[in-house]
Every structure is written in C-alpha cells, then in structure tokens.
Structure 1
Amino acid sequence: MKSSAVAKPIGTVAARFGLATHVLRHWESVGLLGPERDSAGRRRYTDDDVFRVAVILLAKDAGFSLDDIRAILTGSDRSAVLLRRREELLARIARAQASLEMVDHGLACDHADITSCPNFRAAASARLLRQ
C-alpha cells in the first residue's frame, strides 16, 4: 500500500534527484515505478515512490542495469543477478589490484627502463604463459 503522505508531482520528484522528468517516465514504462494518477491523469508520487527512486539510483550507482534492478526489486532471479554482479566485481577488483601492483612497482623501481627490471620481466613472462 502506498504511503498516505501528500503526493508530489513528477517535476518536484525529478528536481529532488536532479533528474529529467522523462527519466521517471521511462522508469515507469519499464516497470520500475508505478505512481498513482490524479483525476486529470497526472502522476502523483507518494513517499514510497520517492523512496523507490532513491533505491533505483542507488542500484544504478552500483552499476546495475534497469533490467537487473527490476529483477532485484521484484525478486525474480534476484540471486542470479546479484551473483553475476558479484563475479563481475571480483574480476574488476582483481584487475585493479594487478594494476595497482604494477604502478607501485614502477614507482619503486630504480631501473631506467622498466622492461629491464627482473621483477617486471618475470611478471611479463608470466603473462605470456597465460596466453
């Protein structure tokens, strides 16, 4: 059930989050939002709707697609979506960690040509073996 607080027009809700009104309309068209309508057919957003907008933005900030957000919010395939995203993040973290290690080594290495550094050469050779 929707909250009983005073409903807000689409422009007010969009402005609160720094969004264009067409974004909220699109989210409604893909099933993420369902604001009530007044007698003139205008969208009226309750506090629950506004909270849902915040949830959608939080999920978008976390890198989820609108389809994934819908699955998470509706419970359909939520675990599958979250597990897939977890694996993607772990892979990204591993790449970022490897990049950081290379940068740290490059900053600490006193070889004029980093490709002549035995540690760097070992890392590059290990990469060749993975191909």
Structure 2
Amino acid sequence: MKSIGEVAARFGLPTHVLRHWEAEGLLAPARAGDRRRYTDADLYQVAAILISKEAGFGLADIRTMLAARTAPARHEVMARHRERLLARIARAQAALDMLEGGLECPHDDIMTCPHFQGFLADRLQSPAATEPDRRTADRS
C-alpha cells in the first residue's frame, strides 16, 4: 500500500490531481483512518488514466472506459477515441516527415527545395483530409 504522496511522486503528479480524479470517480483508494492507501490495482488505474489523457480522452470518457461493466459500452468509447488518435498520429507523422526532410535539405531556402516540397504535396492535394482536430485547434 502506498500513500498519496508516494503515488503522486511516482507519476510526477501533484497530490491534488489524484484527489480530483477520486472526486470524479476515476479512483477509489482504500482508507486507513483519514489517509488514502493505494494498492497495485490503483497504480494501474493511474497509469491507464494518464495514458488515456495523453491520447486525448476527457475525464468522463476515461470513467466510462475504465468503469464500464459491459464490453459494448467500453468498446464504443474506445473505438471513437481510436479513430481520433489515428488521425492525430497521421498528422504528427506527416509533420515529422517534413521536419526530417527539412533537416536533410542542403538548400539555403528550404521552400525552393523540390525534395522538401514533396513533403508538402499531400497537404496541397487534399486539404479536407488534413483538417485539424477541432479540439486541438480550439486550444491553440
């Protein structure tokens, strides 16, 4: 069993985040008096929450995914986020390809480099397919 401070330190989180997740129904640590005591199962839950947040899940969807008692409820949330995450990965890969191409470019003016322009060709061909994720664009 670990204290809230130990769990927070292990994951690099402030303790108030763990308390907030508990208030949101994402965690339910055992109690020893007025102290929270986290089990190994709770640590896995924290890891799942963190990965889900990194993937763009909101707390409500994380709660549904982790607490769903039926596979269909969980699968619906996961499938929706899978599609969003695949689109984000594709956009990030295109950006990484462009950066790597730019690092290989010997030209003084990168925009005149035919090789670099090749990395931009997909965006020129199909702008609708590369529309930004609304949630990401709204945060900018």
TM range (shorter): 0.5 to 0.7
Alignment of 1:9-48 (within 5 A): 13-18=3-8, 20-35=14-29, 42=34, 45=37
**1:1-131 paired onto structure 2 within 5 Å:** 13-18=3-8, 20-35=14-29, 42=34, 45=37, 49-62=38-51, 63=53, 64-75=57-68, 77-131=73-127
TM-score, with length taken from structure 1: 0.66
**Uncovered stretches (5+) of structure 2, i.e. residues with no partner:** 128-140
Question: Cα distance 1:116–1:16, how it changes in 2: closer, same or farther (>3 A)?
Answer: same
Q: Which has the higher contact order (CA 8 A, sep 6+)?
A: 1
Name the larger-Rg structure. Answer: 1
User: How many residue pairs are counted as aligned between the two chains?
Assistant: 116
| Alpha carbons 2:26, 2:63 under 8 Å: kept | yes
- Shift of residue 79 of structure 1? 0.8
TM-score, structure 2 as length reference: 0.62
Q: Per-residue CA shift, 1:67-123, capped at 9, x if unaligned?
A: 222112222621122112222221222122112211221122222211111233344
Percent of aligned positions with the same letter in both sequences? Answer: 45
Q: Distance in 2 between matches of 1:27 and 1:78?
A: 19
